[in-house]
Chains A and B, each alone.
Chain A
Amino acid sequence: MKKLLVSMLALGLLTGCGGKADEPAGQSAVPFDQALHDSLPQAVRDRGYIRFVTDASYAPMESFAADGRTIVGFEPDLADAIGQVLGIRIQIVTGPFQTALDKVADGTYEGVLSAMTDTAEREKKADFVDYLSAGSSIIVQRGNPHRVADLTGLCGNVVAIEKGTIQADLLHRTQSECDGRPMKINEYKTNADALLQLRTGRAVAVLNDFPAATHLATDSRTKDYYELASTAQYDPGLIGIPFAKNNSQLRDAVKGALDQVVATGTYADLLQRWNLSSGAVKAVSINGATQD
């Protein structure tokens, strides 16, 4: 109890020194950039914050802390760093992944920060600022009881998947290779719901981005139940933050801020912290899926 008190006190001191209450303790500070701040849309500067929507069931990118309310992970930390450079607060709001893009398009939220892969299809609805590269991996139960080795191994089985993800697309595209033994693809509102199906044996596999899949297979709380079917990454692509097509001013400001985050080394530090270094991009890009 005493120890806890001491560490809480230390935390309080650190946050106190940091100047901003929501700044993660000990993170190397990224300097505020007045020019970037000035480049923000007037409305954002007036309001002082922007809102990104997320589905917090995708550790280590984002997930709920033990209290069930705080969202932690690489992306919340990255959002904090962007906020510091821009001099605004970035709120993370939970919501379904499937409808997240639409909510950005209609202006409910300024962006999606939920490990959303940049695709040509999605670029039709929004502009992406890409900051991470990853493919998809197949997660199976520990011991791989159904001997799933690749995507076609899923044919004739039940596969659980989060609605609206590129992995859901990938599965549907793979159906054509199943030759009369189609997969039963069950789609769920959150990734956690899909994983629950796998955990309880109602599905034989779940597809996740490689970082999230690796986390599941290695984290001490989950590694007893999950493993990767193979090391293969399907459909490698870039992960980014989508902004509404008519919000290029904000998009460019965030892009500029991310450039700073990369340049100052904070990006590399955060990647290392969350064990995501393998997904690092050399430079932040806009709409990378179609600009290659």
Chain B
Amino acid sequence: MFATYLGASLLPIGALATVLLNGVQEDAAKQGRDQGVAQAAVIAEMAVAPALDAADLSRGLTESERDSLAKATDLALFHGSVLRMRLRTFTGQVVYSDDGSTSGGVPVSDPAFHSATVGVAGATMIADANEAGGKVIRVLQPVFARASGEAIGVLELYLPYDKIDQRLHEQMVVTYWRLGGGLGVLYLALGLISWSTTRSLRRYAARQEHEALHDGLTGLPNREAFRQRATAALREDKGGAVVVVDLNRFKEVNDTLGHHAGDELLKVITARLRGGVRQQDTVARLGGDEFALIVPGADADEVRVMLESLRTVLTSEVVLDGVPLTIEASFGIALYPAHGAEVEELLRHADAAMYQGKRGTADIVVWTGERTRHPTQWLVVQAELRHALDRDELVLFYQPKVSLSDGTICGVEALVRWQHPERGLLPPSEFLPAAEQSGLIEPLTAWVLRRALTDQAAWAAAGRDWTVSVNVSARNLEAADFAGMVEALLAEFGTAPDRLVLEVTETAMVDDRATSMAAIHRLAGRGIGFSMDDFGTGYTSLERLRGVPLVELKIDRTFVATVLEEKENQAIVHAVIALSRGLGCRVTAEGVETAEIADWLAAAGCDEAQGYHYSRPMPWAQISVPIPEEAIR
């Protein structure tokens, strides 16, 4: 840009210089001619005219006129002050010349000669190789011979130019230097001004660009910069992943320790994210506690491996304002080009995967397709669910758990359904994730517990001694006074604590969180049973099972459904049964659909089973008890 300025300012300066120099040259030439005219005027008046006082040129000169003219001009001719001289009539005839000839001279038709005949003196520069400097000044000057001012003829004078030329040349050289110097200084000043201007403009632009593309707090690329870089990465055709990272419970840090601590935490997280990725990866802050990574050239496994180690770094303890904190993060991965060709699409998918992880058991989730619901749909569901709670649109179905030893129903699992006014009866998978994600899970669980206990009181009155199992999410356990709420309900309905079983997923159960564990221990201490749901599908290590008071382990349906065909599943089921023996709790198999499986499970030593083989979930009152043992009993 600066070079352009310099070039551009050179143009007018050059043009100015050309104009000025031309002017100077023209002035010098004119000055030379003017000087010639002035000189000739003096010569004509002082030397020529007095000698011709009474002359009539048309008749030629008299001898005495010729003599006095010669005397008056000899010296100037001899010394070269005048090179040549002719005296001519108005018709052009030469009546006197310095060398006596009557030929030569300016043609009468020459405009300069004509000018002189009408009283206007004129000078012309003539090339003359014989003279010093190669130039002479020719002056044609009317001769006013008499006091009356009457012109009698034309004087043609040739004056030396070399001395005038030399002086003019010296003047011109001085002028050139002054002009050159002045223009140079002007150019320099212009250059300096444009240099400083372009420099500050460039800096300003760079700052603006950086600010436009970077987050002020962390210095990370912002959402816009992320978009640009991701677009560039997508164009490279190498494949890779877009990862969305969301901090769990960041808001709590902000709310309890203040924004300063929140900002501090974001900076720590930023440093850890930066340290945990490769050189070629990009870390950006999309806003709030949401970060995004671009991991080019990596497949799902590589990204997962990388994120595993990143999570370890990220979740290590941070001390903020003297408070030690452990921050957890959820990672959603969208692979490109497999999961989308557009940045927005990839971000949406990664986001969806991340939320899936948040409500599920895993922190690192790869997008698996459109099954993952868009968070915005959840918002609708959440809003509707709020109304559903108010309008009592929810219903509880129950699925019996059957004792494999005698076939009796020993308990039921409460399963919530939503009698949606438009969509009909919805299974929990349609709305539980949305509830889980929001605070709605708490009133929902409270509603389920209340209804379950109400129903239990009803079937107890009807003579059925079933325990009731209610699913509880990790979020419920973390809630401030979950245990108190459960205790209050038990007291309200006068239910014996051992009639209630709370089913918790692995991750919720083994969570390190003090509040969860405190709630579990407090309720277990009261005699309420805890069951580990979907056992075997989470990622927890067995080590975490220690110290958790369980009354039941539920083997996930994925192991049960194909247990007859797959040896590995048999081994796993055997192992889980053995494990439950060791832990001192019973084992319930989920998803039992055939009598053969039930038989196998019974033979394997499984305590209880539930599944379509026995009954689909249904209102408790409809649970028929066609099993002979019931009658026996």
What is the interface of chain A, defined by CB distance below 8 A to chain B?
55-57, 63-69, 94, 189-193, 195-196
Contacts and interface: CB of A to CB of B under 8 A. Distances in A.
B43 interface: no
Contacts, number: 49
A195 B147 CA distance: 8
A195 B148 CA distance: 9
Nearest to A94: B150
B150 A193 contact: no
B151 interface: yes
Nearest to B115: A67
Interface string B144-172: 10111111100000000000000000000
6 contacts: A64-B151, A67-B118, A68-B144, A69-B119, A69-B151, A193-B148
B146 A192 contact: yes
Contacts of B518: none
B480 interface: no
A69 B57 CA distance: 14
B119 A189 contact: no
A190 B149 CA distance: 11
Nearest to A71: B150
Contacts of A56: 148, 150
B603 interface: no
B345 to A, nearest CB: 76
Given A64-B151, A68-B151, 15 more contacts: A57-B149, A63-B149, A64-B148, A64-B149, A66-B119, A66-B149, A67-B119, A67-B120, A68-B149, A68-B150, A94-B150, A192-B147, A192-B149, A193-B146, A196-B147
Q: Which of A63, A67, A193, A196 neighbours the largest number of chain B CB atoms within 10 Å of its CB?
A: A67
Contacts of A196: 147
A67 B142 contact: yes
B54 interface: yes
Nearest to A189: B54
A190 B146 CA distance: 9
Q: Which of B117, B144, B149, B152 neighbours the largest number of chain A CB atoms within 10 Å of its CB?
A: B149
A68 B142 contact: yes
B473 to A, nearest CB: 100
Which DSSP category, helix, strand, loop or mixed, fits chain B's interface? loop
B150 A69 contact: yes
Nearest to B53: A193
A196 B119 CA distance: 22
A189 B117 CA distance: 24
A94 B149 CA distance: 12
B120 A190 contact: no
Contact of A190 (B90, B117, B142, B148): B148
A219 to B, nearest CB: 13
A71 to B, nearest CB: 9
Contacts of B152: 68
Contacts of B150: 56, 64, 68-69, 94
Interface string B82-123: 000000001000000000000000000000000001111000
A63 B148 CA distance: 7
Contacts of A64: 148-151
Nearest to A191: B148
B148 A57 contact: yes
Given A68-B142, A189-B54, A57 B119 contact: no
A67 B90 CA distance: 12
A63 B149 CA distance: 8
A191 B150 CA distance: 13
B118 A69 contact: yes
A67 B151 contact: yes
Contacts of B118: 67, 69
A39 to B, nearest CB: 35
Contacts of B90: 69
Sorted nearest first, the 3 A-B pairs with minimum C-beta distance are A68-B151, A67-B119, A192-B147
B148 A192 contact: yes
A65 B118 CA distance: 10
A66 B144 CA distance: 10
A68 B54 CA distance: 15
Nearest to B152: A68
Nearest to B143: A68
Contacts of A195: 147
Contacts of A67: 118-120, 142, 151
